Protein backbone atom coordinates (compact mmCIF):
# COMPACT_ATOMS: atom_id res chain seq x y z
CA UNK A 1 0.00 0.00 0.00
CA UNK A 2 1.46 3.36 -1.03
CA UNK A 3 1.55 6.02 1.66
CA UNK A 4 0.00 9.36 0.81
CA UNK A 5 2.55 12.16 0.66
CA UNK A 6 2.51 14.42 3.71
CA UNK A 7 1.59 18.04 3.05
CA UNK A 8 4.57 20.36 3.10
CA UNK A 9 4.86 22.40 6.27
CA UNK A 10 4.03 26.04 5.61
CA UNK A 11 6.49 28.80 6.36
CA UNK A 12 6.01 30.67 9.65
CA UNK A 13 3.91 33.78 9.16
CA UNK A 14 4.76 37.13 10.73
CA UNK A 15 2.53 40.22 10.69
CA UNK A 16 3.98 43.72 11.10
CA UNK A 17 1.16 45.77 12.65
CA UNK A 18 1.86 49.46 13.20
CA UNK A 19 0.93 53.10 12.99
CA UNK A 20 3.74 55.35 11.79
CA UNK A 21 3.29 59.04 10.93
CA UNK A 22 6.96 59.90 10.30
CA UNK A 23 7.99 56.35 9.36
CA UNK A 24 10.14 55.66 12.42
CA UNK A 25 8.13 52.67 13.71
CA UNK A 26 8.10 51.29 10.18
CA UNK A 27 11.90 51.58 9.97
CA UNK A 28 12.53 49.34 12.98
CA UNK A 29 9.93 46.82 11.82
CA UNK A 30 11.48 46.76 8.34
CA UNK A 31 14.85 45.98 9.94
CA UNK A 32 13.28 43.17 11.98
CA UNK A 33 11.57 41.84 8.85
CA UNK A 34 14.94 41.19 7.19
CA UNK A 35 15.76 38.78 10.01
CA UNK A 36 12.43 36.98 9.82
CA UNK A 37 12.66 36.61 6.05
CA UNK A 38 16.23 35.28 6.32
CA UNK A 39 14.81 32.56 8.57
CA UNK A 40 12.23 31.55 6.00
CA UNK A 41 9.26 33.45 7.41
CA UNK A 42 6.50 34.93 5.30
CA UNK A 43 6.23 38.57 6.38
CA UNK A 44 3.14 40.75 5.84
CA UNK A 45 2.75 44.46 6.60
CA UNK A 46 -0.41 45.92 8.14
CA UNK A 47 -0.19 49.71 8.48
CA UNK A 48 -3.06 51.35 10.37
CA UNK A 49 -4.62 54.41 8.72
CA UNK A 50 -5.87 57.20 10.98
CA UNK A 51 -9.18 58.37 9.48
CA UNK A 52 -10.87 60.13 12.38
CA UNK A 53 -12.34 63.41 11.02
CA UNK A 54 -11.31 65.29 14.18
CA UNK A 55 -7.62 64.58 13.71
CA UNK A 56 -6.90 62.91 10.37
CA UNK A 57 -6.28 66.07 8.36
CA UNK A 58 -3.24 67.05 10.41
CA UNK A 59 -1.71 63.58 9.91
CA UNK A 60 -2.52 63.43 6.20
CA UNK A 61 0.58 65.39 5.27
CA UNK A 62 4.20 65.70 6.38
CA UNK A 63 5.57 67.99 7.64
CA UNK A 64 2.79 69.42 9.79
CA UNK A 65 1.40 72.76 8.63
CA UNK A 66 1.11 74.29 12.13
CA UNK A 67 3.28 72.11 14.27
CA UNK A 68 2.70 73.50 17.75
CA UNK A 69 -1.14 73.72 17.66
CA UNK A 70 -1.36 70.33 15.93
CA UNK A 71 1.24 68.68 18.17
CA UNK A 72 -0.13 70.01 21.45
CA UNK A 73 -3.70 69.57 20.20
CA UNK A 74 -3.39 65.81 20.65
CA UNK A 75 -2.55 66.11 24.36
CA UNK A 76 -6.13 66.12 25.75
CA UNK A 77 -7.17 63.06 23.73
CA UNK A 78 -3.98 61.24 24.65
CA UNK A 79 -4.28 62.10 28.34
CA UNK A 80 -7.83 60.73 28.37
CA UNK A 81 -6.75 57.68 26.29
CA UNK A 82 -9.48 58.23 23.74
CA UNK A 83 -10.02 56.19 20.59
CA UNK A 84 -10.86 57.32 17.07
CA UNK A 85 -11.75 56.14 13.59
CA UNK A 86 -9.14 54.02 11.80
CA UNK A 87 -8.86 51.80 8.73
CA UNK A 88 -6.89 48.55 8.56
CA UNK A 89 -5.74 46.49 5.56
CA UNK A 90 -7.30 43.15 4.64
CA UNK A 91 -4.22 41.35 6.02
CA UNK A 92 -5.54 42.01 9.53
CA UNK A 93 -8.73 40.06 8.81
CA UNK A 94 -7.63 37.38 6.38
CA UNK A 95 -4.29 36.05 7.63
CA UNK A 96 -3.39 33.39 10.18
CA UNK A 97 -0.13 34.49 11.82
CA UNK A 98 2.34 32.80 14.12
CA UNK A 99 3.83 36.06 15.39
CA UNK A 100 2.54 39.63 15.42
CA UNK A 101 5.07 42.46 15.72
CA UNK A 102 3.44 45.67 16.95
CA UNK A 103 5.16 48.96 16.12
CA UNK A 104 4.07 51.61 18.61
CA UNK A 105 5.18 55.28 18.52
CA UNK A 106 4.78 57.15 21.79
CA UNK A 107 2.34 60.03 21.74
CA UNK A 108 2.49 62.15 24.86
CA UNK A 109 3.82 59.42 27.14
CA UNK A 110 1.46 56.65 26.04
CA UNK A 111 0.08 54.51 23.19
CA UNK A 112 -0.86 56.55 20.11
CA UNK A 113 -4.58 56.97 19.46
CA UNK A 114 -4.57 55.04 16.15
CA UNK A 115 -2.91 51.98 17.66
CA UNK A 116 -4.98 52.14 20.85
CA UNK A 117 -8.10 52.35 18.69
CA UNK A 118 -7.20 49.12 16.93
CA UNK A 119 -6.24 47.26 20.09
CA UNK A 120 -9.59 48.19 21.64
CA UNK A 121 -11.58 47.27 18.51
CA UNK A 122 -13.55 44.14 17.72
CA UNK A 123 -11.04 43.39 14.95
CA UNK A 124 -8.21 42.91 17.43
CA UNK A 125 -9.48 39.76 19.12
CA UNK A 126 -9.68 37.50 16.04
CA UNK A 127 -6.17 38.60 15.12
CA UNK A 128 -4.55 38.28 18.55
CA UNK A 129 -6.46 35.48 20.29
CA UNK A 130 -3.93 32.79 21.24
CA UNK A 131 -1.20 34.41 19.11
CA UNK A 132 2.24 35.46 20.24
CA UNK A 133 3.20 39.10 19.88
CA UNK A 134 6.24 41.32 20.36
CA UNK A 135 6.24 45.09 20.88
CA UNK A 136 8.56 47.65 19.25
CA UNK A 137 8.23 51.07 20.93
CA UNK A 138 9.67 54.16 19.24
CA UNK A 139 9.79 57.30 21.34
CA UNK A 140 11.54 60.55 22.10
CA UNK A 141 12.16 59.74 25.77
CA UNK A 142 9.23 58.14 27.60
CA UNK A 143 8.45 54.56 26.70
CA UNK A 144 7.31 52.60 29.76
CA UNK A 145 3.60 53.49 29.68
CA UNK A 146 3.51 52.90 25.94
CA UNK A 147 5.04 49.42 26.15
CA UNK A 148 2.96 48.47 29.19
CA UNK A 149 -0.18 49.85 27.55
CA UNK A 150 0.27 47.92 24.31
CA UNK A 151 1.03 44.74 26.22
CA UNK A 152 -2.05 45.12 28.45
CA UNK A 153 -4.40 45.89 25.56
CA UNK A 154 -3.10 43.05 23.39
CA UNK A 155 -3.27 40.56 26.24
CA UNK A 156 -6.87 41.59 26.93
CA UNK A 157 -7.63 40.50 23.36
CA UNK A 158 -6.06 37.10 24.00
CA UNK A 159 -2.52 37.76 22.77
CA UNK A 160 0.50 36.04 24.33
CA UNK A 161 3.36 38.46 25.04
CA UNK A 162 6.83 37.29 23.96
CA UNK A 163 9.11 40.29 24.40
CA UNK A 164 9.38 44.05 23.95
CA UNK A 165 11.97 46.66 23.07
CA UNK A 166 12.15 50.46 23.04
CA UNK A 167 14.16 52.90 20.95
CA UNK A 168 14.73 56.37 22.39
CA UNK A 169 16.23 59.54 20.95
CA UNK A 170 19.14 61.36 22.63
CA UNK A 171 18.97 64.64 24.55
CA UNK A 172 17.21 66.01 27.60
CA UNK A 173 13.52 66.71 27.91
CA UNK A 174 13.42 70.18 26.31
CA UNK A 175 16.12 69.75 23.62
CA UNK A 176 14.71 66.44 22.43
CA UNK A 177 11.19 67.90 22.25
CA UNK A 178 12.42 70.88 20.25
CA UNK A 179 14.37 68.57 17.95
CA UNK A 180 11.27 66.46 17.31
CA UNK A 181 8.89 69.39 16.82
CA UNK A 182 11.40 71.07 14.53
CA UNK A 183 11.47 67.91 12.41
CA UNK A 184 7.68 67.56 12.48
CA UNK A 185 7.28 71.15 11.32
CA UNK A 186 9.93 71.22 8.61
CA UNK A 187 10.66 67.62 7.61
CA UNK A 188 14.36 68.46 8.02
CA UNK A 189 17.01 68.10 10.70
CA UNK A 190 18.31 71.31 12.29
CA UNK A 191 21.29 72.01 14.53
CA UNK A 192 19.43 74.74 16.42
CA UNK A 193 15.80 75.67 16.99
CA UNK A 194 14.43 78.63 18.98
CA UNK A 195 18.01 79.35 20.03
CA UNK A 196 18.58 75.88 21.52
CA UNK A 197 21.25 73.47 20.26
CA UNK A 198 19.46 70.31 19.14
CA UNK A 199 20.39 66.65 19.58
CA UNK A 200 19.70 64.29 16.66
CA UNK A 201 16.21 62.82 16.47
CA UNK A 202 14.59 59.75 14.94
CA UNK A 203 15.86 56.23 14.27
CA UNK A 204 19.55 55.78 13.37
CA UNK A 205 21.71 52.87 12.18
CA UNK A 206 22.46 51.70 15.72
CA UNK A 207 18.74 51.45 16.41
CA UNK A 208 18.25 49.38 13.28
CA UNK A 209 21.00 46.97 14.27
CA UNK A 210 19.43 46.70 17.72
CA UNK A 211 16.08 45.92 16.06
CA UNK A 212 17.68 43.11 14.05
CA UNK A 213 19.26 41.59 17.17
CA UNK A 214 15.94 41.78 18.98
CA UNK A 215 14.14 40.14 16.06
CA UNK A 216 16.65 37.28 16.12
CA UNK A 217 15.98 36.81 19.83
CA UNK A 218 12.22 36.79 19.29
CA UNK A 219 12.57 34.36 16.39
CA UNK A 220 14.57 32.01 18.62
CA UNK A 221 11.81 32.10 21.23
CA UNK A 222 8.92 31.63 18.81
CA UNK A 223 10.32 29.47 16.02
CA UNK A 224 13.30 27.81 17.71
CA UNK A 225 16.97 28.70 17.76
CA UNK A 226 18.53 28.84 14.34
CA UNK A 227 21.30 26.32 13.78
CA UNK A 228 24.69 27.84 13.17
CA UNK A 229 26.41 26.84 9.95
CA UNK A 230 29.75 25.09 10.36
pLDDT in the model for residue 93:
95
The whole-model pTM stands at 0.91
Whether 2 is in a domain gets the answer no
Whether 32 is in a domain gets the answer yes
Cα 25 from Cα 27, distance rounded (Å): 5
Cα 55 from Cα 147, distance rounded (Å): 23
Whether 226 is in a domain gets the answer no
Query: Which residues make Cβ contacts (< 8 Å) with residue 79, sequence separation at least 6?
Result: 108
Render pLDDT for 129-159 as a digit per residue (tens, 0 to 9).
Answer: 999 999 999 998 889 999 999 999 999 999 9
Using the predicted structure, report yes or no on whether residue 14 has a pLDDT greater than 90: yes
pLDDT in the model for residue 174:
85
Whether 4 is in a domain gets the answer no
Query: Looking at the 3D structure of the chain, how many domains does it have?
Result: 1
| Closest alpha carbon to 74 in 52, 97, 98 | 52
Using the predicted structure, report yes or no on whether residue 25 has a pLDDT greater than 60: yes
Average pLDDT over residues 186-211: 89
Look at strands 13-18 and 99-107 and give their pairing: parallel
Domain of residue 89 covers 13-219
pLDDT in the model for residue 229:
40
Q: How many Cβ atoms are within 10 Å of 60's Cβ, its own excluded?
A: 11
pLDDT in the model for residue 10:
83
Kindly report the CATH number assigned to the domain that includes residue 23.
Answer: 3.40.50.360
Torsion of CA 127, 14, 59, 108, to 10 degrees: 80
Render pLDDT for 115-128 as a digit per residue (tens, 0 to 9).
Answer: 999 999 999 999 99
Whether 225 is in a domain gets the answer no
Whether 135 is in a domain gets the answer yes
Whether 183 is in a domain gets the answer yes
Render pLDDT for 54-111 as a digit per residue (tens, 0 to 9).
Answer: 999 999 999 999 998 998 899 999 999 999 999 999 999 998 999 999 999 999 999 9
Cα 189 from Cα 59, distance rounded (Å): 19
What whole-number percentage of the chain has pLDDT above 90?
73
User: How far apart, in Å, are the Cα atoms of 188 and each of 45, 63, 142, 167, 184?
Assistant: 27, 9, 23, 20, 8
Whether 229 is in a domain gets the answer no
Amino acid sequence: MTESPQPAARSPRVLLLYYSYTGQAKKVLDAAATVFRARGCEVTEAPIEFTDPRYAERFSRFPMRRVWPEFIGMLPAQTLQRTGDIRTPDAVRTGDYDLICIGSPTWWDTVSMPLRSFLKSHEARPLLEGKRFAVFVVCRRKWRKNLAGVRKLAEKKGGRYVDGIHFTYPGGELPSMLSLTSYLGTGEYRDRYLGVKLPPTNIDDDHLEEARRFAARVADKVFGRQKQET
